[in-house]
Amino acid sequence: MPEIHLLVIDPTGLHARPAAKFVQLASRFASRIVIRHADREADAKSLSGVLGLTLRPSTEITVSAEGPDALAALEALKEELTPYVTPLIPESVQLVKGELPA
């Protein structure tokens, strides 16, 4: 399953507005998209789930996607979150780790 690792850099964490934009964007894709932090995870299409992770600044998150448009979804989400997060591992390495959809 392809995934991207991100570091929250916004000084207020992943707050309501970016979280809402994240959920709105994730909902446009058919893939199942999960956002994980430490041992907790949330459905990226649920605002209560994403806000419930209460992501502070400087926390690491992993976003994974499974489905026909998984790679496109991750690319779009990374772009959308750009002002708030930064990739932790170079993208080329991350995508090698993921499997291409059948």
Contacting residues toward another protein, per CB under 8 A: 13, 16-17, 20, 23-24, 27, 45-49, 51-52, 54-56
- Least Å from the CB of residue 3 to another protein: 22
37 is catalytic: no
Q: Where are the alpha helices (DSSP H) in 1-102?
A: 16-26, 47-52, 70-81, 91-97
Q: Name the active-site residue from 7, 9, 15, 21.
A: 15
Rounded to a whole number of angstroms, the minimum distance from the CB of residue 47 to another protein is: 5
Q: Which residues are CB-contacts of 31 (< 8 A; sequence separation ≥ 6)? A: 65, 66, 67, 68, 69, 70, 73
The residues that are catalytic are 15
